[in-house]
């Protein structure tokens, strides 16, 4: 039930933001849906990352050398679906679907 609520909120936010951007730019929603979805997907991915990248590893190694204590952390699977990553999945799906609809809409222009 929580995942359904997160999906509805995420889709509502994506459609609302797309409508606001298209109204502000005086264009069609289809023109901006892919780009809004892409930006929101990148933002959600940035804020829901597990923190096991190069920067985190270098900070952990620096801390270990200074204190002599080993830092351990959880290694979560990248395929574990939580509420935050479910919003990422919904946003990513919105982006892919909007890309396909945009390509179908403008197919004759290519």
Please tell me the predicted confidence (pLDDT) of residue 8.
Answer: 92
Residue 91 Cα to chain centre, angstroms: 6
Q: Assign residue 102 a region (left: φ > 0; alpha: ψ between -120 and 50; beta: otherwise).
A: alpha
> Bigger pLDDT: 17 or 4?
17
Residue 79 Cα to chain centre, angstroms: 14
CB 40 within 8 A of CB 14: yes
Please tell me the predicted confidence (pLDDT) of residue 74.
Answer: 55
- Please write the tens of the pLDDT for every residue from 31-79: 999 999 999 999 988 877 665 555 566 666 777 777 776 666 555 555 5
Q: Assign residue 51 a region (left: φ > 0; alpha: ψ between -120 and 50; beta: otherwise).
A: left
Domain residues of the chain, as ranges? 2-48+80-109
Please tell me the predicted confidence (pLDDT) of residue 45.
Answer: 85
Is the predicted pLDDT of residue 16 greater than 90, yes or no? yes
Average pLDDT of the residues in 69-90: 65
């Amino acid at each position: 039930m929580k995942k359904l609520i997160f999906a509805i909120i995420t889709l509502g936010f994506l459609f609302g933001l797309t409508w606001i951007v298209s109204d502000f730019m005086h264009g069609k929603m289809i023109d901006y849906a892919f780009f809004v979805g892409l930006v929101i997907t990148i933002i959600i991915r940035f804020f829901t990352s597990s923190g096991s990248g190069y920067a985190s590893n270098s900070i952990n190694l620096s801390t270990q050398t200074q204190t002599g204590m080993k830092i351990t952390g959880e290694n979560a699977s990248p395929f574990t679906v939580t509420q935050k990553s479910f919003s990422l999945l919904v946003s990513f799906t919105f982006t892919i679907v909007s890309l396909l609809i945009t390509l179908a809409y403008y197919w004759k222009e290519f």
